[in-house]
Structure 1
Amino acid sequence: MGGVESGTANGGAQVKSAVRTVELLEFFAGRPGMHTLAAVQESVGYPKSSLYMLLRTLVDLGWIETDATGTRYGIGVRALLVGTSYIDGDEVVAAARPTLDRLAEDTTETIHLARLDGTDVVYLATRQSQHYLRPFTRVGRRLPAHATSLGKALLATHDDEQVRRLLPATLEAVTEHTITDRERLIDELRAIRERGWAVDREENTLGLRCFGVAIPYRTPARDAISCSVPVARLTPGHEQMIRDALLDARDRLTLATRRL
């Protein structure tokens, strides 16, 4: 605790306690609910005594919470405050609001704005469908990019070799329809580049089809928008209307973000 590790990949030094703090917060962020000290220690591998002291410090500061027994730990409310601050201060989210509102009204379906973060997409904004039967995705949710239309639209803005460096050869199967072979995914990304939109065919959620487009205000793109529709409600005409609306929204959002 408190030592310094040098020789990092970027040529700088990392403070061990700071690295461990961030890793702990990421552990809890990725695993909702409460966890015992033993379960946390098994996952992160820190010495139990050091881990306990770090957890108690984070509890005192409000970043970690404990249950009534004081023996189980979970993410604290201060993490929510920081996450909300990120969304509130993001220029793309602010610029996208009118476009997301209009797209939701035009399609009557659930609309998402997400950002590529490593091999995942993180949801930054959502507009819920007007229908009773609708998907639910919360802001802050993280999903594998290869299993979503948003992620595939963003991966398609990278060239084939960049995708190979970014993704492992075998990909996680989220559903039975998920593309798990990297080369097969790359073939689909080539088609996405040509037509300008991506589709998730129940690859993330059974019974749900999603269409996505990347926002090219930077290259490679880091943000995308999508429209999610239950398969039971999707007709060829509705699908075409959604794709056209997404492409129109992409063009409007590209103009809105051109100076960012």
Structure 2
Amino acid sequence: MDKVVAGSGSQTVSRALNVLEMLGNSGEMGVREIARNLGIAPSMAQRLVNALARADFVEKAAESTKWKIGYKAFQVGSAFLSSVDLNAATTPELHFLADEKQVNSFLGVLRDQSVIYLAAVQSGGGITITNAPGSRTYLHSTALGKALLSSKTDEEAGHLLGPAPYKQLTRKTRRSFAALVKDLNECRRLGYAISDEENIDNVFAAGAPVRNASGQTIAALSGAVPRQKLSAKAISELCQTVKDAAARASRRLGAPG
């Protein structure tokens, strides 16, 4: 296999990894856009992309001059999932939510100061999933993020969130730490968190922690549906459904009852 290099030294490796991360987050990018984000010449960006393409880590997007993640990068990511029990524990629940309940379902983990999507399953409902595995999302505005933060102390959560005000995604986004703490306390009490049009307009999501045999939160499951015409009863049922799905996944991982 070709080595992923376009020069020499750790800086080149770091840039190549940055290219993969950018493509994982954005989906598709052109060479000039990659160069601009990395602060390098387009010719250098082209050499990086060519090297990654030769190793099948990136590939040309269909009918486009832009680039996207290749099958080899997906293969490496899949190896991470298959190396842990999390995949086996959560996959049935993700498909149960999507297929049986018509709820878009997601699996996420906490990395650095973001949520990383590990899986997303499209339902037959009215929301189209655009969150690819490996992409990042916000802690403060998502049900996944709140569910993951609920296992932390307020001090730890504050450190992960960073200084307020937090980025506003919609008119309902929680932007203060005090507002987020109230949501986290509710999640600790009820066993699930909600994002009521806080991350995307007209999307309601519920998320719940997934725990391992030690009782530690290692991931979170969430389900998302259109907010329009969603009754209080439907909201309650969705929250309980997501909570139960996360609890079943946790039991498969040996979590205490």
TM over 0.5: yes
Q: Report the counterpart of residue 34 of structure 1 in structure 2.
A: 29
Q: How many residues align?
A: 245
CA–CA distance in structure 1, aligned partners of residues 129 and 189 of structure 2 = 30
Q: Report the counterpart of residue 154 of structure 1 in structure 2.
A: 148
Kept in 2, the 8 Å contact 1:158–1:220? The answer is no
Q: Report the counterpart of residue 205 of structure 1 in structure 2.
A: 200
CA–CA distance in structure 1, aligned partners of residues 70 and 249 of structure 2 = 35
Aligned CA-pair RMSD: 3.0
Q: Report the counterpart of residue 8 of structure 2 in structure 1.
A: 2
Q: Report the counterpart of residue 227 of structure 2 in structure 1.
A: 231
Kept in 1, the 8 Å contact 2:31–2:46? The answer is no
Q: Report the counterpart of residue 236 of structure 2 in structure 1.
A: 240
TM-score normalised according to structure 1 size:
0.79
CA–CA distance in structure 2, aligned partners of residues 114 and 249 of structure 1 = 14
**Aligned structure 1 segments of 4 or more residues deviating by more than 6 angstroms:** none
Kept in 2, the 8 Å contact 1:107–1:241? The answer is no
Judged with a 3 Å threshold, the aligned counterparts in structure 2 of structure 1 residues 233 and 164 are, in CA distance, closer, same or farther, namely: same
CA–CA distance in structure 2, aligned partners of residues 195 and 228 of structure 1 = 18
Q: Report the counterpart of residue 251 of structure 2 in structure 1.
A: 255
2:129 equivalent to 1:136 = yes
Judged with a 3 Å threshold, the aligned counterparts in structure 2 of structure 1 residues 44 and 126 are, in CA distance, closer, same or farther, namely: closer
Q: How far does residue 26 in structure 1 lie from its aligned partner after superposition?
A: 1.2
Q: How far does residue 58 in structure 1 lie from its aligned partner after superposition?
A: 2.1
- Opposite residue 129 of structure 2, the aligned amino acid is F
- Opposite residue 55 of structure 1, the aligned amino acid is V
Counterpart of 2:17 in 1: which secondary structure?
A: helix
Q: Report the counterpart of residue 120 of structure 1 in structure 2.
A: 114
Q: How far does residue 219 in structure 1 lie from its aligned partner after superposition?
A: 6.0
Answer with 1 or 2: which has the greater Rg: 1
Q: How far does residue 42 in structure 1 lie from its aligned partner after superposition?
A: 2.6
Kept in 1, the 8 Å contact 2:210–2:249? The answer is yes
CA–CA distance in structure 2, aligned partners of residues 28 and 137 of structure 1 = 14
CA–CA distance in structure 2, aligned partners of residues 73 and 125 of structure 1 = 22
Kept in 2, the 8 Å contact 1:106–1:245? The answer is no
Q: How far does residue 183 in structure 1 lie from its aligned partner after superposition?
A: 3.5
Q: How far does residue 243 in structure 1 lie from its aligned partner after superposition?
A: 2.3
2:158 equivalent to 1:164 = yes
CA–CA distance in structure 1, aligned partners of residues 97 and 114 of structure 2 = 24
Q: Mind listing any 5+ residue stretches in structure 1 that lack a counterpart?
A: 4-14
CA–CA distance in structure 1, aligned partners of residues 236 and 28 of structure 2 = 41
Judged with a 3 Å threshold, the aligned counterparts in structure 2 of structure 1 residues 23 and 135 are, in CA distance, closer, same or farther, namely: closer
Over the matched positions of the two proteins, sequence identity in percent amounts to: 26
Q: Mind listing any 5+ residue stretches in structure 2 that lack a counterpart?
A: 1-6
